[in-house]
Amino acid sequence: MNNFGVIEVAGAKTTNAPGWAYVPDTGPPGLSHQQGKNSKNRKRAARSTAGGPNLSYADLSARQEAKVRKELEVLDRDNPRDVSIPIPAKPKGSGSGRDAAAAKHTPNVRKILQSQKTFANHLDDWLALKEGGGIANTGGTATPATGGGGTSSSRSAAAAAAAALSGRKGSAQQHKKSETPNSRGGASSAKQQQPKQDDVEMTDAPNAFGGEGGSTILSPYRGPLPAPHPRDDDLLLVSRVPPMPTDEELKALLAAPPLTYLEARAGWGAEDRKYPVRVFCEVCGYWGRVKCIKCGTRVCALDCLDTHHEECVTRYGL
Amino acid sequence: MAPRKSKTSRPAPPSSTLVLDNGAHTLKAGYVTDDDAATDETPTLVPNCIARDTDRRVYVGHELDQCKDFSEIAFRRPVEKGFVVSWEAQKEIWDRQFFDANAPQGPCDPSDTRLILAEHSNSLPVLQSNCDQMIFEEYGFASYYRANGPSLNAYHDVQAIFRTPRDPATVAQLPAECLLLIDTGYSNTTVTPLLQGRPLHSAVRRLDVGGKLLTNYLARLISLRHYDMRNEPHIVNEMKEQACYVSLDFNADLERAWKGTRGEKREDYLTGGGIAKEYVLPDFHTRSKGIVRDFDPEQAGRARKLAKLGEATEDVLTLRNERFTVPELLFHPSDIGLHQSGIANLVWESLLAVPTGLWPALLANVCVVGGNALFDGFIQRLQKEIVKLVPDDCIVRVARPANPITSTWVGGAKLAKHENISGLCVTKQEYEEYGGAWVVRKFATGSNDT
């Protein structure tokens, strides 16, 4: 029905009524008050300008941020409480010939065994060492082949190698649309395209790794090909395959040093920011559609809100 | 650079190889001898922990089998984030497993044994050199290869895992040419593209969500909604393994598991909607393991009455959306405020660091190993999510080996028989002659000559 031709128009007039109002709330705090930019409420305006569409920890209120961090720390623990379990004494009769030798460890071993450091300690140590710049030449800690300072830039070095190939990226997007019967062997026909041209360069690669005869890194495809089709040459149906990287590129890739622990950590990239962060009811686990006015905890509906109100306390540091 | 030792001066290779995948949760170990192909290719699984039960009895490693009462058990794990950190505890577990006189897998004579030890990617240099020193100076293994764990999986017949149609007579090429390996274990989840069995280090990515976090998260949810289970990591872990699954349609499942607004009686909620399951908690007298059974509304009502009267014979939890929101963290870590990419985006990030020409080959060979791969629906969901991200005409195949937990070990066992191994290992003499830094460098580059 067209409602007798009457179109409802949202009123432009807002009254600054005291009390409360329903505010549509679709995301974590910060995002929710976008539309309040022109409102007279200074607090709300300040909050909405602080948190842009790019959500980050900074957009959460400090209290919630602390809570999330604390909860993540708890989730990362092996035991809920701090426990220290000492090494038990060996049972009788289990003594081996190595016991005599075990009595005198080498100094290195003794140091390692007595170390009470946790992984976090080691990570902090290593970061401090790197900050100091002396990581390459410290006696005890051996570094990978990259040498002084090289580790920090390894990800960028790898990125540079990838940048050399950036021209090929476009073709990857381009060939998105072609799909032909024989694209089943997409990978393999790509290999077939690669001519065996750079066969000679692999002298320093160990034989053990060489594909066939140690000549090239990727071996050509030798399996059966799909039966030819009369329209194989049809420009609309032809499948495009990204060009294979050359042996030099592959060698550079293989020779790239390992990333450091922190560099390998997954980021929070553009792909992840595409969609808003999902929020859940903290009582039952359904979507968190409404928020507790007092503390901002998410709940799904009135039932869960009541449950939550029973224990809703706003304390400092909670 | 140190002069390379000529091959002829090498001593004869040791008679047997100890392959050891030293996981944070379980240690996978077994001996491989290269004289025959008939060695059993299954490792022994040992809990890699020192545990203490409520009676303050302490169990080390395999002794945990004797434990009858797992309530309020506390664990000390030598491996943190996938890396051996507490060698004091690790040595005790290894000693009791391999080296003591009455050890179940021993006594092992290190001076006549080669060790292949799988380690996680992106270790700290300190921890690597600690490991090398312990292996050579404390145990004195004849030769040793600290292998990158994910890359060992390339020594499987990967095409058999994917069921590629092929001539049955073809001999599998080892190591596999291209493989995108996802290792989702106890401490974290890593994505490693492999080329000829070697990791492309610049494209390795790690997500700090693993089985431990999932277990702890489930424990938290249950503590909020039912009983306080935060001190029962063992029970919750079993519950997670038996009852949790990866949802193929998260929104729909969440909708079905919702109880509705106030006063609303939702059909799916009352009948369970195919999602709700009951978990009977173990009491460690009559029942040592929990049981999963289908949710039955009538029985649940009766049980509630009995519980009110205090006559209930069993403790039952009803699991609803906990069943799939927990493994969901692997795909959406931001659900708990952990700002990292989920697995599918992790794969994408990793691909971006690799030339486009390798994408088709890598995406057609995505292999998932590690305990989390055992969740129902994990593979299908991952495939679905990856397909959404990558170019249309890349064929995406995701598979897991028959036993994803021991997969890395089996790969290591195959490497032990492979001709590559002699070039990869470092002997004790080499360690003594060239020093620890040389060993680290050699393992880092993974080649014969550095």
- Write the DSSP string, A95-133: --THHHHHHS--HHHHHHHH----HHHHHHHHHHHHHHT
Q: Is the pLDDT of residue B388 over 50?
A: yes
Q: What is the pLDDT of residue B79?
A: 92
Q: Which domains does chain B have, with CATH numbers?
A: 7-156+405-445 (3.30.420.40), 173-208+340-400 (3.30.420.40), 211-327 (3.90.640.10)
Check if the beta carbon of residue B375 is closer than 8 Å to that of residue B189: no
| A256–B356 C-beta distance less than 8 A | no
Give the residue from B79, B221, B259, B356 with the most A CB atoms within 10 Å of its CB, the best one to mutate. B356
- Contact residues on chain A for B121, CB-CB shorter than 8 A: 258, 264
**Stretch B304-327: mean pLDDT, rounded?**
84
When CB atoms are compared, the residue of A97, A178, A244 closest to B393 is A178
* Integer Cα distance of B103 and B29 in angstroms: 13
- In chain A, which among 252-271 make CB contacts under 8 A with chain B? 253-261, 263-269, 271
Its pTM surpasses 0.90: no
For the stretch B149-203, pLDDT in tens is: 999 999 888 888 888 877 776 777 778 888 999 999 999 999 999 988 889 999 9
Q: What is the pLDDT of residue B327?
A: 94
3-state DSSP assignment of residue B118: strand
Q: Is the pLDDT of residue B98 over 50?
A: yes
Nearest to A251 by CA among A173, A185, A164: A164
Check if the beta carbon of residue B224 is closer than 8 Å to that of residue A285: no
**Stretch A58-80: mean pLDDT, rounded?**
79
- List Cβ neighbours of B345 (8 Å cut-off, separation of 6 or more): A266, A269, A271, A272, B389
- Contact residues on chain B for A243, CB-CB shorter than 8 A: 357
Q: Is the pLDDT of residue A194 over 60?
A: no
| A286–B258 C-beta distance less than 8 A | yes
Top-ranked range on mean pLDDT: pick from A74-78, A243-247, B324-328: B324-328
| B102–A94 C-beta distance less than 8 A | yes
A171-180, A267-276, B22-31, B278-287: least confidently modelled range = A171-180
**Stretch B95-100: mean pLDDT, rounded?**
87
**Does A62 touch chain B if contact means CB atoms closer than 8 Å?**
no
| A113–B91 C-beta distance less than 8 A | yes
Q: Is the pLDDT of residue A190 over 70?
A: no
When CB atoms are compared, the residue of B85, B346, B423 closest to A208 is B423
- List Cβ neighbours of B103 (8 Å cut-off, separation of 6 or more): A94, B95, B96, B97
- In chain A, which among 165-204 make CB contacts under 8 A with chain B? 165, 168-169, 171-173, 175-179, 183-184, 186-188, 190-191, 204
**Does A220 touch chain B if contact means CB atoms closer than 8 Å?**
no
Q: Per residue in A156-182, is it b (16+ CB within 10 Å) or e — as a string?
A: eebeebbeebeebeeebeebeebebeb
Is the peptide bond between B175 and the residue preceding it cis, with omega within 30 degrees of 0? yes
* Integer Cα distance of A68 and A164 in angstroms: 40
Domain regions of chain A by residue span: 159-176+185-255, 278-318
- Contact residues on chain B for A59, CB-CB shorter than 8 A: none
**Does A280 touch chain B if contact means CB atoms closer than 8 Å?**
yes
Which band of pLDDT confidence, cut at 50, 70 and 90, is reported for residue A295?
A: confident
Which band of pLDDT confidence, cut at 50, 70 and 90, is reported for residue B316?
A: confident
Which band of pLDDT confidence, cut at 50, 70 and 90, is reported for residue A95?
A: low
Burial of A301 (0-12, 13-18, 19+ CB in 10 A): buried
| A218–B445 C-beta distance less than 8 A | no
* Integer Cα distance of A226 and B253 in angstroms: 41
Q: Which position has the higher pLDDT, B192 or B10?
A: B192
**Stretch A15-24: mean pLDDT, rounded?**
61
* Integer Cα distance of B343 and B349 in angstroms: 10
Q: What is the pLDDT of residue B35?
A: 65
- Contact residues on chain A for B320, CB-CB shorter than 8 A: 285
Q: Is the pLDDT of residue B58 over 50?
A: yes
| A204–B129 C-beta distance less than 8 A | no
* Integer Cα distance of A249 and A258 in angstroms: 17
Check if the beta carbon of residue A288 is closer than 8 Å to that of residue A279: yes
- Alpha-helical regions (H) of B187-257: 211-225, 233-243, 250-256
**Does A12 touch chain B if contact means CB atoms closer than 8 Å?**
no
Minimum Cα–Cα distance from A311: chain B residue: B224
Which band of pLDDT confidence, cut at 50, 70 and 90, is reported for residue A143?
A: very low
Burial of B8 (0-12, 13-18, 19+ CB in 10 A): exposed
Share of chain A above pLDDT 70, in %: 50
Q: What is the pLDDT of residue A37?
A: 45
Q: Is the pLDDT of residue B39 over 70?
A: no
Q: Which position has the higher pLDDT, B261 or A37?
A: B261
* Integer Cα distance of A79 and A86 in angstroms: 15
